[in-house]
Amino acid sequence: MSIVFIEYVLILLAFCLISKTTSSYRNTWRELRTSMCYSISGFNPRFFCTYEPVTDPIEIHKQKLTLWFSHLPQEERQFGGYFSPETMHVQPLILERHPDEDRGLSPFKEKTSISTRPSLTVEQLFDANNNGNKARGLNVLLYGAVGTGKSTVVRKLVLDWCAGSVFSQFKLVLPFSCEDLSHLSKPTSLRDLVGRKYMHLRKTPYLSGDYDKAKDVLFIFNGMEKMKLDFRIGSTELCSDPNEALPSGAVVVNLLRKYLLPEASILVTTRLSAVDRVPKKYINRYVQICGFNDPDRQRAYFTSRLLQQNEGKPEKAAEMLIEMLYLNLQRESQLATACFLPSYCWLTCATLHLLHFTDTKSPIRTLTGIYTSFMRLNFGGEVITVDGNVSSQEQQNSLMLYVVRTVGKLAFDGITNKRTSFSAEELEQWVGGKTKTDEELQQLAVFRTDVLDFFLVPRDYHGMDPESGGRRYVFAVPAMQEYLAALYVVLGENKSVLEKLTKEVSEALGQASEDITSLLSIISKIIPFRIFAVFNLLKLFPKLFERVSSHSKGRIANTMAAEMFRSEDSFNEDVLDQVEQSLLGVHGPQPQEETYTRAFELYPIFMGGLLHYGNRRLLDQLGCSIKSHTVSQITRALRKHLIKESQKKQPPEELMDLLVLLYEFQNPRLTAEVLQSIKTINLSTVRMTPHKCFVLSTVLSCTSSSFHLNELNLSSCHITPELLQMLWPAFHHTSNLKLCDNYLTDTGISHLLEALSGNHSLQRLCLMHTGLGDRSAQLLAERLGQHEMLQELNVAYNNIGDSAALTLVDACREHPSIHTVHLYLNHLTDVGKQSLYVRGGPRVKEGRRVKVLASVTEGSDISEDWHPILSVIGKNSVSWDRGRVREQLLVFLKDLEWGRKQHQSFWKKMHFRRVESVVRQTLRLLEKSSDTGTGTGIK
């Protein structure tokens, strides 16, 4: 930066010499100072700063709108903050269509009808050709289902207008949130309403009502369903004065009537249920936003997001993900149906970011957190309303809580009975329920119109059940069923009849006075007389009442424990692989028949994740409160179940699920207590992704420095050198580390040895079939002294030559405790094997021998470890390079034949022939497995 500064000083001096007047010198210095400031800082002065302040109110308005609408919510910033509306926006399908044409239909069922209609761009919404009365502005109503992208389109529209790329016919664009307007309690005029939100426009002439200045104004009212609008003359008086104070709803009504600023144009966005709140005569154009109706639009969205990785991320991995996604979308899969809504495209991208682009610098993100954020993005703060009216008991009318009590109840029933699809009758049973009042029926109608299709879509086979022929519905994303069912349980909504009545009685007792007559009258209205005696007993015995009322929290804990640790009839892959397969599809041969029953392994993990404080805080914003004392009681109940389960010997996939559960909990103390009972972590054959590596390291980081594992087995886990760096904390806690059958290479070994420098209890290190070369062997030889307790080193089946192998064995001889080195199936010559055998002999001073396993023979004798060597080869012959294994077995036969000829003893010869027969048997099994695709190991 000093060089740049000197250059600018020299330029300044040159200008000073040329300047002839003091004023010119001052101007030159001012311009140069400004330029130097921004050049050094890296900012563009055109956009960020200037020595001449902006005074035009419209330009100020554009700058402020750009700042406001460019702001990313927390749900976006958690992915690094490198997304922006400009770079990731994909225009959803927009059609001119009257809502009567698709009333009551799901947006997922319209692909055949929308394909024949011409689509519109945002620029065409206010096309002058559609305005019959030039003196009046257009009123355009943009409607669509939840998650189709209405708010995103508005945000992009405003930003593009600020940049000057759209709507050049409007000199002023004024966006308003109808939710904000609905909370205004005092009457206010239009000018004050604008000035209150946009202070710099208080004196703008475009809102004066004089002449036709308002023709250059576009009002945007986003989310009209959240506002009460009454167009009846008796309820909302006519007003044409922008300075007259009115309720906010009346201001909007008079604007739409064209009684107030008739020349202004208006864009209203709303959900389908609220379309009729504006009489048809006040709407010039109905436009429907249909989301991403084809795989190409969906692919464009995925491409714009997945290719924008943090610095240093491999683009090839992202491109491969996009290609796999696109293949799944082209199959007309369940994902393709869900991604009709841009919201589910966001959820898909967020999940793939978690699974594939997690690194050590990433913030702590959980799958439960992503789904909870998804709910907040779509239903944050919403309440069930009828015609814009909000009940005083907002907590009971929370839209998200309504979703849990209806759709969540359906999801829970499906998991209980192991079903993923539901009939129309079941939807009516669980979602409709037994409604009693007109208000409940109206709320249900709004919910069915706007929200139900957001969660449930017709199943494949064109929505028909191949067995019964009836229409069936499934959750748009399979994991959503498990999330909502988990939320249903954690919130304690699966109450018994006694619990429900107890809650009502508790509320009544709290509101009643000591007057017994008043108390009994309240209770008699709540419960039937046939069980009135039960609550008389509760009234007479307060301790009994306290015991019943506390039953609810304990029941939640016991229910969660039973649900989380119940035994399933089927066994699936680990849960993160299941999530990925639901997004990317199953590649390769497809199953002939699809089964609709499965183990819901993500369901208990979501229950654990929902207890985390961050998720509870978001849920509280949605009107779904989980109290801290309830969480404490649940955690105590679960601790003993988790410790009990962790003590069992579990398959690698189920053990990975347990680690994911502990990670989703985000409770370090509980995690440390559970891990104390685990002595072996065997994750062999589990496909380790960046996120799984991050989970393993994070969970083990919760333990104390004294904690250590007897064994950490990560064999055949697809671990790469990059993933090794994420696993550093995991390597500090084990005495036996297995990394066989992972392509680590010399680079990976360098990372591994750096990670192991903090491990002072390592006794066995297995690096068989990991792509090691001579450089890796030399690195191992140099670093062995850091691990004084190391006893056994396995580097078999690698690419180590004679010289490097001798160096490694010499280092092992100098080591105080190493007694065995595995070197078979490396690139060793006969001379090299003989030298290794000689080097492995007893040392003169100590008499300690280092056993070197390089072949089934040692010199002219048979190695005492010939059987373990052949057993390892037999067990891995299917997964290893069969050509190389066959070549090595033939070398063994040659060594055995030569050794047999060196002995005259009949028993020695017989021993050689026995070993030869085992080698030949292994060869036959290898050739047989090459023909049939199967293989067996040596017993």
Q: What is the DSSP string of 65-77?
A: HHHHHHPPPHHHH
CATH number for the domain harbouring residue 192: 3.40.50.300
Say yes or no: 346 and 241 in one domain.
no
State the pLDDT at residue 395. 43
Give the best-scoring range by mean pLDDT among 92-101, 217-226, 723-732.
Answer: 217-226
**What tokens were used for 23?**
């004023």
Of 427-431, 853-857, 878-882, least confident by mean pLDDT is: 878-882
Confidence of residue 829 (pLDDT cuts 50, 70, 90): confident
If DSSP codes are grouped into helix, strand and coil, which group holds residue 648?
Answer: coil
766: in domain? no
Distance of alpha carbon 551 from alpha carbon 90, whole angstroms:
51
Residue 782 exposure: Cα atoms within 13 Å on the Cβ side = 10
Return the minimum-mean-pLDDT range out of 4-8, 143-147, 533-537, 902-906. 4-8
pLDDT on residue 601: 81
512, pLDDT greater than 50: no
Asked if pLDDT for residue 930 goes beyond 70, the answer is no
Ramachandran angles phi, psi of 652, nearest 5°: -55, -40
- Residue 530's alpha-carbon distances to 182, 434, 522, 545, in angstroms, are 46, 21, 16, 19
User: Which residues are registered as beta bridge partners of 712?
Assistant: 681, 737
Residue 61 has pLDDT above 90, yes or no: yes
The answer to whether position 770 is within a domain reads: no
Same domain, 155 and 215: yes
> Looking at the whole model, is its pTM more than 0.85?
no
Whether pLDDT at 84 is above 70: no
Amino acid type, 313: K
Tokens of 522: 């309240």
| Domain of 103, in residue numbers | 57-107+116-290
Is position 62 within any domain? yes
Residue 218 β-bridge partners:
173, 265
For residues 338 and 319, membership in a common domain is answered with yes
Instruction: Say if residue 130 is in the same domain as residue 272.
Output: yes
Phi, psi of 121 (to 5 degrees): -100, 165
Same domain as 282, residue 314:
no
Number of H helices, E strands in the chain: 42, 18
DSSP bridge pairs for 820: 792, 851
Strands 472-475, 792-794: parallel, antiparallel or unpaired by DSSP? unpaired
Q: If pLDDT is split at 50, 70 and 90, which confidence band does 938 have?
A: very low
129 in a structural domain: yes
Looking at 311, 332, 363, which one is the last position of a domain?
363
Highest mean pLDDT, choosing among 387-391, 463-467, 595-599, 747-751: 747-751
Residues 262, 343, single domain; the answer is: no
Given this model, what pLDDT does residue 763 score? 93
Q: Is the same domain home to 243 and 307? A: no
Nearest to 796 by CA among 830, 833, 829, 821: 821
Q: Which of 191-200, 725-734, 904-913 has the lowest mean pLDDT?
A: 904-913
623-657 residues labelled b (16+ CB within 10 A) or e (exposed): bbebeeebbebbbebbbebbbebbeeebebbbbbb
Report for 444-448, 594-598, 865-869, 879-883: range of highest mean pLDDT: 444-448
How many CA atoms lie within 13 Å of 105's alpha carbon, on the beta-carbon side? 14
Per the DSSP assignment, residues forming a β-bridge with 177 are 222
Q: How far is CA 718 from CA 682, 734, 746, in A?
A: 14, 20, 16
Residue 556 pLDDT class (50, 70, 90 cuts)? low
Query: Reduced to 3 states, what is the DSSP secondary structure of residue 146?
Result: coil
pLDDT level of residue 555 (50, 70, 90 thresholds) = low
Domain boundary at 363, 386, 419, which? 363
Cα 442 to its chain centre, rounded Å, is: 35
Co-location of 300 and 344 in the same domain: yes
Return the structure tokens found at 757.
């420098």
**Is position 910 within any domain?**
yes
Q: Which residues of 418-451 are buried (b: 16+ CB within 10 A; e: fewer)?
A: ebbbbeeebbeebbeeeeeeeeeebbbebbbbbb
List Cβ neighbours of 180 (8 Å cut-off, separation of 6 or more): none
Beta bridge partners of 194: none
| C-alpha to C-alpha distance for 268 and 178, rounded to whole angstroms | 10
Considering the domain architecture, whether residues 66 and 189 belong to the same structural domain is answered as: yes
Q: What is the pLDDT of residue 666?
A: 92
Strand order in the sheet with 139-143: 93-96, 285-291, 139-143, 265-270, 217-222, 172-177
What pLDDT was estimated at residue 86?
61
H/E run at residue 96: strand 93-96
pLDDT band at 903 (very low <50, low <70, confident <90, very high): confident
> 10 Å Cβ neighbour count for 213?
18
Mean pLDDT of 770-778: 92
Identify the weakest region by mean pLDDT among 10-19, 120-129, 166-175, 409-418.
Answer: 10-19
Asked whether 737 and 709 are in contact (CB, 8 A), the reply is: no
Q: Does residue 609 sit within a domain?
A: no
pLDDT of residue 932: 57
Q: Give residue 828's pLDDT.
A: 87
Tell me, yes or no, whether 153 and 284 share the same domain: yes
Instruction: Kindly indicate the confidence band of residue 526, based on its pLDDT and cuts at 50, 70 and 90.
Output: low
Is residue 784 within 8 A of residue 818, CB to CB? The reply is yes
- Dist. CA 383–CA 248, nearest whole Å: 20
CA–CA distance, 843 with 836 (Å, rounded to integer):
14
DSSP annotation of 567: P
Residue at a domain's end among 316, 341, 363? 363
| Any domain includes 316 | yes
One domain for residues 299 and 356: yes
Q: Are residues 286 and 299 in the same domain?
A: no
Alpha helices in 788-905 (DSSP H): 802-814, 830-839, 866-876, 882-901
How does DSSP classify residue 431? I
Range with the largest mean pLDDT of 23-32, 338-347, 533-542: 338-347
pLDDT tens, residue by residue, 440-485? 888 888 888 889 989 998 876 544 554 555 678 999 999 999 999 9
Phi and psi based region of residue 463 (left: phi greater than 0; alpha: psi -120 to 50; beta: remaining): left
Contact (Cβ atoms closer than 8 angstroms) between residue 726 and residue 748: no
Q: Is the distance from CB of 795 to CB of 772 less than 8 angstroms?
A: yes
Which token pair is 329?
């979308």
483 versus 432: the higher-pLDDT residue is: 483
Half-sphere exposure of 341 (CA within 13 A, CB side): 26
Structure tokens belonging to residue 914: 């026995």
For 460, other C-beta atoms within 10 Å of its C-beta total 17
Q: What was the pLDDT predicted at 937?
A: 39
Average pLDDT over every residue of 653-666:
91
Q: Are 801 and 833 in contact (CB under 8 A)?
A: no
Q: In terms of pLDDT, which residue wins out, 924 or 326?
A: 326
Average pLDDT over residues 358-373: 88
Say whether 734 sits in a helix, a strand or coil.
strand
Q: Chain-wide mean pLDDT for the chain?
A: 79
Q: What is the mean pLDDT of residues 292-312?
A: 79
Query: How many independent structural domains does the chain possess?
Result: 3
Give the Cα separation of 582 and 576 in Å (integer): 10
Residue 579 corresponds to which amino acid? V
**Tokens matching residue 360:** 């050590």
Tokens coding 265: 């144009």
User: CB within 8 A of 183, min separation 6: which ones?
Assistant: none
At residue 35, does pLDDT exceed 70?
no
Q: Give tens-digit pLDDT for 134-172.
A: 778 999 999 998 888 899 899 999 999 999 989 999 999
Does 823 reside within a domain? no
Higher pLDDT: 23 or 216? It is 216
